[in-house]
A and B are shown apart, each in its own frame.
Chain A
Amino acid sequence: MVLWAEVLTSIVKFLIFPGIVFSFVVGLFFEGIDRKISAHMQHRIGPPIWQPFLDVGKLFTKEDITPSNAEGWLFNFAPYLGFGAIITVMLMLPVYAAQPAFSAAADLIVIIYLLNIPALAIMLAGVSSSSSFGTVGTERYVVQLFAFELPFIIASLTVAAQANWTLSLEGIVAYQQANGWLLWELPLAAAAILLVAPGKLLKTPFDIPEAETEIVYGPLTEYSGPKLAVFNVMENIKILAVAGFITALFLGGPTAHVIAGVQIPAIVDFLIKTIAILILITLIRTVTARLRIHQALKFYWGFVAIIALINLVYVMVI
């Protein structure tokens, strides 16, 4: 009986909370919030925040097209590869408590790698679509991936080093509950990872791989209908996942509060923190122009990686 209950809980976790249904709904609302806030900053009214649901719903009703020049199976497989990886990340993040839905021996390393699989899926999509825009977009994405991954890993390792070399997110969240947010202890690493976020999520000024006016939609130019919808959902869940990851590393993870005698569940705390990170990303994307790919590389290696490294050395020496 106990085994059955465990299997059932796992299925619920995977399908509903914090798996597919929860990530889907919150991810799309995140895009809606992003669009609404940037619209107000730009002196527009903007779409209602449930607009992404209508967009995705419409895409699912469209015809499923595979271009005749494309490498068929890879082209069709890529969206699901990325979607699966990002759902796995959501299951491994502390969302409703310090304890994630599923955990592995070294969560941190696994999540760092899993967060790159959506990027790889987009690159596979770009190459397999046999379009020159896709090829150029993929070339740019490869460069950008190497650019932001270096500071991202250094900043994550700094956190692990500070939390007595634990590689589990649960341990990092527990350390913060005992000693306060790591944002205050590791300000440079936190700044580095917040600057990496727009690059990882392909938001201006780092939307270089899918620069609309230059290469149409980069690797996803040839996609339409349901497969594009899956990619869209994947990118929106990625916002939630990256924001959740930063929350766990620097903002103390999901914490339950009691305010004026009312019990506030940890999930509310988690959503507030992730939305704050989302708003920061939206702010950056609203006040900048798109950079060129070598400028992005220079920025990430020449500035962001250096400040992250300074913090890592500081933590390890002192």
Chain B
Amino acid sequence: MSFVVPVGPQHPALEEPEHFRFTVEGEEIVDVDFRLGYMHRGIEKAFEEKSFPRALYLAERICGICSGIHSIACVEAVEELAGVEAPRRARFLRTVLAELERVHSHLLWAGIAAHEIGFMTLFHLTWRDREHVLDVLEMLTGNRVNYAANKIGGVRFDVEPKHLGKISNVLDDLEEDALRYMDVFTSDRTITARCEGEGVLSKGEALRLATVGPTARASGVDEDMRRDDPFAAYGEIDVDVKTAEGGDVLANAEVRLSEILESINILRNAVEQLPEGPLSVDAPKKIPEGQATNRVEAPRGELLYHFKSDGGEKPSRGKVRTPTMANIPAIIEKLKGETIAEIPIVVASIDPCFCCTERVQIVDKNTGKTQTLTKKELREMREE
């Protein structure tokens, strides 16, 4: 006998409202259906109502965890449109911001993964250590979450000599912590029992479904925008891309934890090589007509920003594709043949950020059926 287990919109395993419907037989999952749209905020439309500097503030608020990388992606797309280039020091500082954020995001993921498999101690300890990264971010930018660190043409914060001691202390501690968590994740019997061989995504499927970021790298796909399409100062700093084989939850954990170590290396290099110079250059208020696309590597994978200007102060179109959007098909593939016990950790293994990814979905309130609109129907709706 099969029955439906609803997960969400309110469920302890999900940090955000999202609705999954699992058809199960006993414990085994036979079908998955999910529904988006609980947190649609209409941000792409809102871009068109704001001037470019204000669009930057909006972009920063798309995600509460990777807010820094959103603003970097946005600001670099706008800079490309405006034809200005941020000074070299500013680009290095953006790298520092992006890597600090990657460290705290991956630690946060490790904690959530531990929570999903019921390992509360590991959850509390990783989140305790994550606080140190937030402290550094607060020291540098004045904020813990939305840093407001970028502006068109440069950055609004600086790494001063008095900060260096604290940064190097925190990095040393973090390196120790990351190595310890790496050891815990790969050697603890109860963790490996839950994570090894679960939620497998083969390399072929990962390529076919166009997954991005750590999810793809855990399946052995060697891609990283920091190396393949450098932004900020990554062109001048070596990035060692970490991949793993297997594509299961454990491989995801290994990739993310070794990325923390790599981020610490990058941070050390970036702070050491930090060039002297101005923090920003002036940017025009009116942005010349044109289009620009920018790809960056967010903690969760490739993040794409596209802006179009018609020569005024406001963008005429802004488009965002967040990494979770690209990775959602992977969830379905990973959950095939798994059991109910695997739902939370497998969904969490792609490090989903649903609120960034939110799209409108048309749902019939009475039957719960979803509907796809064709291009023609969309056009008709616009004309109405």
Q: Is A71 an interface residue (CB 8 A)?
A: no
- Given the known interface contacts A42-B124, A216-B12, the answer about A211 and B341 at a Cβ–Cβ threshold of 8 Å is yes
Q: How many residues of B contact A (CB 8 A)?
A: 33
Chain A residues with CB under 8 A of B193:
289, 291-292, 295
* A213:B4 contact, CB within 8 angstroms: no
Q: How far is the CB of B109 from chain A (nearest CB, A)?
A: 15
* B344:A289 contact, CB within 8 angstroms: no
- Given the known interface contacts A132-B6, A204-B120, the answer about A291 and B344 at a Cβ–Cβ threshold of 8 Å is no
Q: Is A156 an interface residue (CB 8 A)?
A: no
Q: Mark B279-307, 1 if CB is under 8 A from A, else 0.
A: 00000000000000000000000000000
Chain B residues with CB under 8 A of A216:
11-12
Q: Is A207 an interface residue (CB 8 A)?
A: yes
Smallest CB-CB separation from A298: which chain B residue? B193
Q: How far is the CA of A140 from the CA of B122 in the complex (A)?
A: 25
* A289:B191 contact, CB within 8 angstroms: yes
Q: Which of B120, B188, B190, B340 is the one whose CB lies under 8 Å from A215?
A: B340
Q: How far is the CA of A292 from the CA of B28 in the complex (A)?
A: 13
Chain B residues with CB under 8 A of A64:
none
Q: How far is the CB of A202 from chain B (nearest CB, A)?
A: 11
Q: Is B121 an interface residue (CB 8 A)?
A: yes
Q: How far is the CA of A212 from the CA of B91 in the complex (A)?
A: 44
Interface size, A (range):
20 to 34
* A135:B3 contact, CB within 8 angstroms: yes
Q: Is A225 an interface residue (CB 8 A)?
A: no
Q: Mark A233-263, 1 if CB is under 8 A from B, else 0.
A: 0000000000000000000000000000000
Q: Which of A42, A132, A213, A288 is the one whose CB lies under 8 Å from B190?
A: A288
* A213:B116 contact, CB within 8 angstroms: yes
Q: Is B194 an interface residue (CB 8 A)?
A: yes
Q: How far is the CA of A211 from the CA of B191 in the complex (A)?
A: 15
* A136:B340 contact, CB within 8 angstroms: yes
Q: How far is the CA of A136 from the CA of B343 in the complex (A)?
A: 13
Q: Mark A279-318, 1 if CB is under 8 A from B, else 0.
A: 0000000111111110100000000000000000000000
Smallest CB-CB separation from A140: which chain B residue? B27
Q: Is A205 an interface residue (CB 8 A)?
A: yes
- Given the known interface contacts A288-B119, A291-B190, the answer about A44 and B124 at a Cβ–Cβ threshold of 8 Å is yes
* A290:B118 contact, CB within 8 angstroms: yes
* B118:A136 contact, CB within 8 angstroms: no
* A132:B5 contact, CB within 8 angstroms: yes
Chain A residues with CB under 8 A of B27:
136, 139-140, 293
Q: Which of A42, A43, A44, A289 is the one whose CB lies under 8 Å from B194?
A: A289
Q: How far is the CA of A234 from the CA of B264 in the complex (A)?
A: 50
Chain A residues with CB under 8 A of B121:
38, 41-42, 286-287
Chain B residues with CB under 8 A of A292:
193-194, 339, 341-342
Q: Which of A42, A139, A208, A289 is the one whose CB lies under 8 Å from B26?
A: A139
105-151 of chain A: CB within 8 A of chain B: 132-133, 135-136, 139-140
* B119:A213 contact, CB within 8 angstroms: no
Q: Counting chain A CB atoms within 10 Å of each CB, which of B4, B114, B115, B194 scores highest? A: B194
Smallest CB-CB separation from B191: which chain A residue? A289
- Given the known interface contacts A289-B114, A289-B191, the answer about A213 and B13 at a Cβ–Cβ threshold of 8 Å is yes
Q: Is A214 an interface residue (CB 8 A)?
A: yes
Q: How far is the CB of A177 from chain B (nearest CB, A)?
A: 39
Q: Is B210 an interface residue (CB 8 A)?
A: no
Q: Which of A44, A211, A295 is the one whose CB lies under 8 Å from B118?
A: A211
1-57 of chain B: CB within 8 A of chain A: 3-6, 11-13, 24, 26-27
* B125:A43 contact, CB within 8 angstroms: yes
Q: How far is the CA of A213 from the CA of B343 in the complex (A)?
A: 9
Q: How far is the CA of A63 from the CA of B340 in the complex (A)?
A: 32
Q: How far is the CA of A313 from the CA of B24 in the complex (A)?
A: 42
Q: How far is the CB of A45 from chain B (nearest CB, A)?
A: 11
Q: How far is the CA of A136 from the CA of B131 in the complex (A)?
A: 37
Q: Is B163 an interface residue (CB 8 A)?
A: no
Chain B residues with CB under 8 A of A133:
5
* B190:A205 contact, CB within 8 angstroms: yes
* B119:A290 contact, CB within 8 angstroms: yes
- Given the known interface contacts A212-B12, A213-B12, A295-B193, the answer about A290 and B124 at a Cβ–Cβ threshold of 8 Å is no
Q: Mark B164-189, 1 if CB is under 8 A from A, else 0.
A: 00000000000000000000000010
- Given the known interface contacts A43-B128, A136-B340, A204-B120, the answer about A289 and B190 at a Cβ–Cβ threshold of 8 Å is yes
Q: How far is the CA of A216 from the CA of B188 in the complex (A)?
A: 25
Chain B residues with CB under 8 A of A212:
12-13, 118
Q: How far is the CA of A14 from the CA of B12 in the complex (A)?
A: 39
Q: How far is the CA of A41 from the CA of B119 in the complex (A)?
A: 13
Q: Counting chain A CB atoms within 10 Å of each CB, which of B120, B124, B343 scores highest? A: B120
Smallest CB-CB separation from A288: which chain B residue? B190
* A43:B124 contact, CB within 8 angstroms: yes
- Given the known interface contacts A289-B117, A292-B339, the answer about A214 and B344 at a Cβ–Cβ threshold of 8 Å is yes
Smallest CB-CB separation from B341: which chain A residue? A292
Q: How far is the CA of A38 from the CA of B118 in the complex (A)?
A: 14
B residues lining the A interface (CB < 8 Å): 3-6, 11-13, 24, 26-27, 114-122, 124-125, 128, 188, 190-191, 193-194, 339-344
**A to B CB contacts below 8 Å, 18 in the list:** A42-B125, A132-B3, A132-B5, A135-B3, A204-B120, A207-B118, A213-B12, A213-B344, A214-B344, A216-B12, A286-B120, A288-B190, A289-B114, A289-B119, A289-B122, A290-B194, A291-B190, A292-B194
Known: A42-B125, A293-B27. 5 other contacts (CB 8 A): A41-B121, A140-B27, A288-B119, A289-B117, A290-B118
